[in-house]
Structure 1
Amino acid sequence: MHAMQYEITLPADYDMEIIRTRVATRGHLLDTFPGLGIKAYLMRERGKHSPVNQYAPLYLWTTPAGMNSFLLGPGFQGLVDDFGRPEVQHWTGLSYAEGAASAALPRTATRHRERIPASVAPAAAVEESLERSCRLAKTPGAIATALAVDPRRWELLHFTLWEHDDPEAPGDRYEVLRLCVPERARLGDGRQW
């Protein structure tokens, strides 16, 4: 599994209905995309648990080939044409788990990033985060949760989809506009090494 996200921060007075319409009219185009486990179309609105307006989709890929095909294909180029080329963050997958509410449609997502301090062994930090991720998956309202690492910066990414609007999980909170799940079953279950 590979996690990937880009963030497009928009002006404070930007009409976020433009993003909603974009997702409503184009989101279905990835419903059968090869190599894509999950794409969560995420948005944050200024003043609603966020200091900024932002369109920030997050992807969980089953294969690097799928991710590369998307980034070098017409879908991503359309985004570049409309908003400019964003920095694409990516993390290597460590674990994925279906949650207690896995059959529900997500309304909210949380993304929590944390650096592994230089004084902490990476394996120890990952084991601790895996335990938290397993507990999070069992939380009422959790649909799915993923843990990934960026070894360039030694940063852990915790990503969770929720069926309700007000999860108590730490991190940035997003509204889920749409979810594509063409290869969700291929994301595996549990640790990925």
Structure 2
Amino acid sequence: MQAMQYELTLPADYDMDVIRDRVARLGHLLDDWDGLGVKAYLMRERGTHGSPVNQYAPFYLWNTVEGMNSFLFGGPFQGLVGDFGRPAARQWTGLAYEEGTAADADAAFAVRQRRPVPEGVPLTEFAAQTAEETRRLAGRDGAVLVAAAVDTARWELVHFSLCSHRDPAATGARDAGGEVFQVLHLSQPGRKTLRRGRRW
């Protein structure tokens, strides 16, 4: 599993209905994309759920590198590049994945929690703790799915959660300082083949 995300930070007065309309028109194009586990079409709106910015920030869980590369270099990504410029696409290597207590529900919002991998802690111990935390987050009321991945260039961990509640505060999902995104659409052609549990 490979996680990927890019962020388009937009002007403070940007009409975010442009993003909503874009996703409504184009979101279905990845509903059957080979090699894709999940793509969450995410948006933050200035002043909503504590967001300081307007932002479009899709998050991907890839089953295969080939699927990711065919998206980035095979055409579809170029449409976004043509409209907004080419964003940096962050990538993280998957450590753990879990289906949540509300796995069959529609995702209403996402929470992204990022933190550095601490110095002085054995990486085997850190990875085991991360897998346990992923299970704990997936056990929360309203959790749809949870993934954990690490960027070994920056030694940064990301926990990504999808939740069914309309109110993020209802799950306590922000208690670790996570950033909250609205889910506009969810493409999940390979979600059932994302292996649950740890990835080592």
TM, length-normalised to structure 2: 0.94
1:172 equivalent in alignment to 2:179? yes
SS at match of 2:124: helix
- CA deviation map 1:23-71 (0-9, x unaligned): 0000000011000000000000001120000000000000010001101
- 1:95 deviation in Å? 1.0
- 1:121 deviation in Å? 2.2
After TM superposition, which residue ranges in structure 1, 4 or more long, deviate above 4 angstroms? none
- 1:175 deviation in Å? 0.2
| Corresponding residue of 2:199 | 192
- CA deviation map 1:131-174 (0-9, x unaligned): 11111111110000001111111111100000013131231100
1:38 equivalent in alignment to 2:49? no
| Corresponding residue of 2:58 | 57
In 1, the alpha carbon distance for the partners of 2:56 and 2:74 equals 20
Which runs of 5 or more residues in structure 2 are unaligned? none
- 1:74 deviation in Å? 1.5
In 2, the alpha carbon distance for the partners of 1:88 and 1:10 equals 16
| Corresponding residue of 1:157 | 158
1:187 aligned partner, one-letter code:
L
- 1:119 deviation in Å? 2.3
Report % sequence identity: 56
1:115 equivalent in alignment to 2:119? no
State which drifts further: 123-132 or 59-68. 123-132
- 1:192 deviation in Å? 1.3
In 2, the alpha carbon distance for the partners of 1:20 and 1:129 equals 33
| Corresponding residue of 1:15 | 15
In 2, the alpha carbon distance for the partners of 1:28 and 1:61 equals 17
| Corresponding residue of 1:72 | 73
Q: Count matched residues.
A: 193
In 2, the alpha carbon distance for the partners of 1:140 and 1:131 equals 17
2:106 aligned partner, one-letter code:
L
- CA deviation map 1:171-192 (0-9, x unaligned): 1100000000001011111111
| Corresponding residue of 2:105 | 104
Which runs of 5 or more residues in structure 1 are unaligned? none
SS at match of 1:113: strand
1:26 equivalent in alignment to 2:30? no
CA RMSD of aligned residues (A): 0.9
1:81 aligned partner, one-letter code:
G
TM, length-normalised to structure 1: 0.98
2:5 aligned partner, one-letter code:
Q
